[in-house]
Amino acid sequence: MINYYLKKQRLRPILSLWFLCFILATYDVQASGGKDYDSTSYPDQSVITGTVYDGSTKNEPLIGVTVLEKGTGNGTVTDFDGNYSIRVAPGSTLVFSFVGFETKEVVVSDQKTIDVSLNLDQEALEETVVIAFGGKQLKESQVSSIATINPAELKGPTNNLTNMIAGRVPGMISFQRSGEPGADNSDFFIRGLSTFGSGKRNPLILIDNIESTSTDLARLQPDDIDTFSVLKDAAAASVYGARGANGVILITTKSGKAGKAKFSARAASRVSTNTDNFQFADNITYMNLANEAALTRDPLAALPYSRIKIDRTAAGDNPYLYPSNNWIDQILKDYTINQSFNISASGGSERARYYVSGTYNVDNGILDVNSINNFNSNIKLQNYSLRSKLDIDLTSTTSATVNIYGQFDDYNGPIANGGDIIASTVNANPVAFPAIFPSEFYPIAEHPLFGNAPLSLSSNALYVNPYAEMVKGYRTTKNSTVQAQLLIDQKLDFITEGLKIGTMNYIRRYNTYSISRAYNPFYYQASRNPVDNSVMLRVLNDGTQSSIGLPGTEFLNLAGGENQSNSRLYNQFTLNYDKTFNERHVVSAFLINVLQSFETTDYSNLQQSLQYRNHTFSGRFTYAFDRRYIAEFSFGYNGSERFDRTNRYGFFPSFGVSYILSNEAFFEKWKDTFTNLKLRFTYGKAGNDEIGNEDEDRFFYLSRVNPNSGDFGAVFGQDYNYYRPGVSIDRYANSNIGWEISEQYNFGIDIGLWRNLNITAEVYRQKRTNILQRRTEIGDVIGLTADPQVNFAELESKGIDLSLDYNKQINQDWWTQARATLTFATNEVKQTNELNYPDDLSYLSKVGNNASQMYGYLAERLFTDQEEVNNTPTQFGNYTGGDIKYRDVNGDGVITPLDQVPIGLPTTPELIYGFGGTVGYKDFDLSIFFQGSARSSFQIDPRAISPFVLGTGDDTGRQNGLLKAIADSYWSEDNRDLYAFWPRLSSTIIENNVQSSSWWLQNNDFLRLKNLELGYRASEKLTESLGLRSLRIYASGINLAVWSSFKLWDPEMGGNGLGYPIQSTYNLGVQFDF
């Protein structure tokens, strides 16, 4: 597949170039693999008619069966009575195909009528789902809650698989907060956030049963995926007791199939742009409002910008003396081009089969880096991966699988991450200095002449020049993941039929390192030469006495780096038994023992450096009777190294029953409408041992003491140099701490209607208990240096997952598919450790609220004037008319944290939905997919967008820009709009206005046109002439439009609005298999 993603007119040259490449590529394929097309015609064609029947018991005519002359495009579809008519020559072959039935071929001799009966496709009926530990289960006998997604659904014009999940998987809450390559993974939770402990909240990801990170998932190629399942309830996940409480994502990659080598290749190149650029006010407004901001707070304040400067800038005077930058245009490109290549080969003999695939992806950032250096500091993330799977039948009863996977990221980018550069860009003063002066100003300098200015006349600090920040150096980061996996299965039928043992072992190593190289930029300031009115430059940071800021260097320095590794070793042994007795009793059982250990260099103390280990012993037993009644029992008995010996192991049982109504004899009469009707119920428990703060907490039964703490040292001696570090106690021992437990009920119903429509609906309730918490109620007087922790909190969550699939071949030319999912998940804190609030402050209690509920003050409106301020309860810091007025909830005459109430909806969306479909006409198909999110809120971070505010600390030299939305609506002395978007301007942070409050609350609902695709599949004739097995051309786009009440930035980014924008991509592409 070769894709080109296009957006703007200016891309036409690229488009033409691409077509040229495509033609060349096509030519190449023709040259190497093409064969001459021999067109032959049969003159003595005759008309064949007939009827197609349902070959099952009823023998009724089938409507909409495709009838094709084999090897040609000649075909038709049966009508309402199952009749068809087609003109073919004798000797040709007719192919009858219909969804859910086996395809049948009939050779035409001299008959005129051919009636055909199609048999039900047993394979389709016996559709399997992947369950825990590599097992497979007939979909029919599935009891627990498992959502399976067709991997093709996950294909899209993005190099990050996690961004394709939202709205496509029922039961999964997912959102993307950043669009920066390498940092653009979506957050996802199965059935919403179901714990609020500080430990693991996201699901366990298993790729070929190897515990993987969300980045591994992001890098996975949809082409390589064989199955993608999500285990949602405890009954499905309990066997993973140690990590399964938050649900499990189970992915298997493709295996080879015996036969001739088959190749599949894909090359893609796409254009991506920001979904939404921030709208800033123009620079003249900026200066006028900066002056107003200073004066409105202090009538005697010095004006930041003189009238002359404003007028000259407006007149477009010398750009070096009166700079006026549009930093976003100068730093960010409108679009960037990404590429993706994937090739796979599979095949083999009956005894040994292989699947090999390789991937190369390039994601570029949107920084506009000019060639002032010979190094490029734009973000470029290159990703290589190689996957090789070999299945060998060692004997007739023994099989082995060897699976080797390597995944490598090469990142090149600015010293700071892309989000930081964006932050410098939107927080740069636009009129204080130009980005860079032409080198003619100072020809002898070999370094770039960056512009800058001191923060004030007597300041020792300079502004941040975002352009210099971007180009002053570069960072390279290399990540490698290598894993080797061996599976061996042995059938033990010679002991008893249906018995099998197996073992699976893998080792996985990960390493990342990064190196940064940068020079310190030289900064220059322009002034007018009074003699001849020319522009003079003055160096600001040459290191002399009057130098300001870090002195410049002409040479690169090493600017830090890091190196981290981790390793995982896994060993599994399984025992399986499957047998059917008397054709009606299906029994299966399996037992598994797993040992796994993990070690990482990402530690900050000795306790963290120790190995992480788990022991799991679990099993599952199922019994099915007559394909109608199914019962299942599973358990996990799990041990974790983190807990004290006395409660190191947790036992997590589960059971489930299901009833397939549609297989009952009495149901037969409705079978035409209800092709499938099944009820399911499960109850179970699962555990979570990754609790507490990952950076600090392990071995809760041990205290953690730092015997060499620099924070608590002391110094003595006449010369103040007899120093000894002190002792800090960072954790108190508590041997009672154990597993966080999830207890779940799931009720599901599967409905199949008219063979076209499949509906699955599930409702669930989950109670999470033993959530680890800090005992914050212990007063300061006790003098504890760390809050003791206990398994205390409880959270109850519940929700609905709904999915709907529709497939229909309307007639020979038209077919359609539709799909919709809806996930609703909400939760309620049942018990939490908090202060003992008296009755009149009971609203402060978190019990009864959502775990991600925000708290804040109730903002009533803006103050009209100082007099009103004087006559209302005291608020925060200095404030006056035009600042936010809060409600004194507890009526004590002062606004304090005790006046904070729950505001808005949860920050994690409660409702995620997606819907879309495909319509096909002949060789064309059109797909559209919408995705939405509802029932969540966020707060704008007012500190981040307070205009004209100078940064402090690490942000020194940054100055917040003026968003157009603020310039358009703010309280001013002339326009006392009590409900303006922005309060009275100020050039410093007004503490009163940046409190968490309903003023900044925003609704986070949105609906997005996630994906749109128009495709054309070349006819077999053309395909064959090119020597290909298939060929398809299509145009598609992702994140094309969004509807939301919030307009300042992409609503999916939430409060992180001035970060790296979410990307839209556009493409036009071709795909071929050979």
Partner 1 sequence: MKRKLVLVLLLPIVMIYNACDDYLDVVPDGLATVDKIFNLRQEAEKYLFTCYSYMPRLGNLRRNAGFLAGDEMWVPDNRENGDYFALEIALGRQRVANPYYDVWQGEYQGGLPFDGSEIWDGIRHCNIFIQNMSDPSNVPDITPTERERWIAEVKFLKAYYHFYLMRHYGAIPIIKENVSVDAPTPSFDVSRDPYDEGITYIIGLLDEAAAVLPPVIADINTEYGRITSVIAKSLKARILVTAASPLYNGNPDLSVMINKDGTPLYNTAFEASKWEIAADAAKEAIDAAEAAGLRLYKFNKASTGFNLTDTTVTKLSIRNAITDPESFEVIWPNTQSLTDGADGLQASAMAPLEVGHNTRVARKVISPTITMAKLFYTDNGVPITEDKAYDFNDILELREAQPDERYNIEEGYRTSRLNFDREPRFYADLGFDGSMWYKRDALGDETKWHIEGKFGQYSGSDHPFFFNETGYYCKKLVNWRMTFSNDGGTFENYAWPEMRLADLYLLYAEALNEIQGPTAEVYSYLDQIRERAGLDGVVESWAAHSNNPSKPLSKEGLRSIIQQERMIELAFEGQRYWDLLRWKRAVQEFNDNVQGWNINGDDEASYYQIRTIHIQNFISPRDYFWPLSETSLIRNTNLVQNPGW
Tell me the closest approach of the beta carbon of residue 990 to partner 1, in angstroms: 11
- In angstroms, what CA-CA distances link 151 with 247, 254, 1017? 19, 11, 19
Q: Residue 859 in 3-state DSSP?
A: strand
Give the tokens for residue 326. 């549009």
* Cα–Cα dist 784/661, whole Å: 61
Contacts of 899 (CB under 8 A, 6+ apart): 857, 858, 886, 887, 888, 889, 890
DSSP labels, 287-300 = HHHHHHHHHHH-TT
Residue 549 lies near partner 1 (rule: CB under 8 A): no
User: 4-23: which residues touch partner 1 (CB under 8 A)?
Assistant: none
Tell me the closest approach of the beta carbon of residue 1044 to partner 1, in angstroms: 36
Q: What are phi and psi of 163, to 5 degrees?
A: -80, 0
Note whether 907 and 940 are within 8 A (CB).
no
Residue 841 lies near partner 1 (rule: CB under 8 A): yes
Tell me the closest approach of the beta carbon of residue 575 to partner 1, in angstroms: 10
- In angstroms, what CA-CA distances link 183 with 164, 186, 200, 423, 482? 15, 9, 19, 15, 21
User: 860-899: which residues touch partner 1 (CB under 8 A)?
Assistant: 874, 894, 896-898
Tell me the closest approach of the beta carbon of residue 392 to partner 1, in angstroms: 13
Q: Stretches 53-61, 476-484, 765-773, 831-839: which one binds partner 1 (CB under 8 A)?
A: 831-839
**Which residue, 458 or 871, is less far from partner 1 as judged by CB?**
458
Residue 456 lies near partner 1 (rule: CB under 8 A): yes
Helix (H) or strand (E) holding 642: none
User: 728-747: which residues touch partner 1 (CB under 8 A)?
Assistant: 728-729, 732, 734
**Among 350, 532, 719, 974, contact with partner 1 (rule: CB under 8 A):** 719
Tell me the closest approach of the beta carbon of residue 723 to partner 1, in angstroms: 8
Q: List the alpha helices (DSSP H) in 146-206.
A: none
Give the tokens for residue 754. 């008219």
**Among 56, 708, 842, 1030, contact with partner 1 (rule: CB under 8 A):** 708
Q: Stretches 110-118, 650-658, 775-783, 850-858: which one binds partner 1 (CB under 8 A)?
A: 775-783
Q: Stretches 380-388, 470-478, 702-710, 972-980: which one binds partner 1 (CB under 8 A)?
A: 702-710
DSSP labels, 401-421 = EEEEEEEEEEEEE-SS-HHHH
Tell me the closest approach of the beta carbon of residue 633 to partner 1, in angstroms: 24
Note whether 771 and 196 are within 8 A (CB).
yes
Q: What are phi and psi of 524, to 5 degrees?
A: -130, 150
User: 574-603: which residues touch partner 1 (CB under 8 A)?
Assistant: 593, 595
Sheet arrangement for strand 93-97: 75-77, 66-69, 93-97, 104-107
**Among 42, 722, 921, 924, contact with partner 1 (rule: CB under 8 A):** 722
Residue 397 lies near partner 1 (rule: CB under 8 A): yes
Residue 777 lies near partner 1 (rule: CB under 8 A): yes
Count of positions on this chain that bind partner 1 (CB under 8 A)? 84
Residue 501 lies near partner 1 (rule: CB under 8 A): yes
* Cα–Cα dist 137/712, whole Å: 59
**Which residue, 161 or 895, is less far from partner 1 as judged by CB?**
895
Residue 573 lies near partner 1 (rule: CB under 8 A): yes
Per-residue x/- marks for partner 1, 940-979, CB under 8 A?
A: ----------x-x---------------------------
Q: Stretches 108-116, 158-166, 390-398, 1038-1046: which one binds partner 1 (CB under 8 A)?
A: 390-398
Tell me the closest approach of the beta carbon of residue 268 to partner 1, in angstroms: 43
User: 600-619: which residues touch partner 1 (CB under 8 A)?
Assistant: 606-607, 610-615
**Which residue, 513 or 843, is less far from partner 1 as judged by CB?**
843
Tell me the closest approach of the beta carbon of residue 394 to partner 1, in angstroms: 7
Residue 490 lies near partner 1 (rule: CB under 8 A): yes
Note whether 217 and 211 are within 8 A (CB).
no
**Which residue, 794 or 899, is less far from partner 1 as judged by CB?**
899
Question: How does DSSP classify residue 329?
Answer: H
**Among 778, 922, 924, 1043, contact with partner 1 (rule: CB under 8 A):** 778
Note whether 287 and 431 are within 8 A (CB).
yes
Q: Position of tokens 């407004």?
A: 285
* Cα–Cα dist 591/572, whole Å: 11
Q: Position of tokens 């608590």?
A: 712
Residue 531 lies near partner 1 (rule: CB under 8 A): no
**Which residue, 760 or 986, is less far from partner 1 as judged by CB?**
986
**Which residue, 89 or 610, is less far from partner 1 as judged by CB?**
610
Residue 811 lies near partner 1 (rule: CB under 8 A): no
**Among 49, 85, 119, 398, contact with partner 1 (rule: CB under 8 A):** 398
**Among 64, 197, 430, 639, contact with partner 1 (rule: CB under 8 A):** 639
**Which residue, 60 or 892, is less far from partner 1 as judged by CB?**
892
- In angstroms, what CA-CA distances link 765 with 104, 236, 238, 828? 47, 15, 16, 11
User: Between 307-314 and 283-297, two packed helices, what is the crossing angle to 10 degrees?
Assistant: 160
Residue 996 lies near partner 1 (rule: CB under 8 A): no
**Which residue, 699 or 855, is less far from partner 1 as judged by CB?**
699
**Among 59, 783, 975, 1047, contact with partner 1 (rule: CB under 8 A):** 783
Tell me the closest approach of the beta carbon of residue 690 to partner 1, in angstroms: 15
* Cα–Cα dist 425/369, whole Å: 13
3-state SS of 479-515 is: EEEEEEEEEEEEECCCCCCCEEEEEEEEEEEEEEEEE
Nearest-5° angle of CA 422, CA 425, CA 426?
90
Q: Stretches 6-14, 625-633, 637-645, 674-682: which one binds partner 1 (CB under 8 A)?
A: 637-645
Tell me the closest approach of the beta carbon of residue 783 to partner 1, in angstroms: 3
* Cα–Cα dist 637/615, whole Å: 8
Residue 503 lies near partner 1 (rule: CB under 8 A): yes
Nearest-5° angle of CA 248, CA 249, CA 254?
140
Instruction: Select from 175, 215, 5, 275 the least CA-distant residue to 1060.
Output: 275
**Among 226, 393, 542, 641, contact with partner 1 (rule: CB under 8 A):** 641
Residue 720 lies near partner 1 (rule: CB under 8 A): yes
Strands (E), 689-756: 704-716, 722-731, 740-753
User: 161-190: which residues touch partner 1 (CB under 8 A)?
Assistant: none
Residue 705 lies near partner 1 (rule: CB under 8 A): yes
Q: Are strands 2-5 and 259-274 parallel, antiparallel or unpaired?
A: parallel
Strands (E), 108-185: 116-118, 128-130, 136-138, 146-149, 172-175
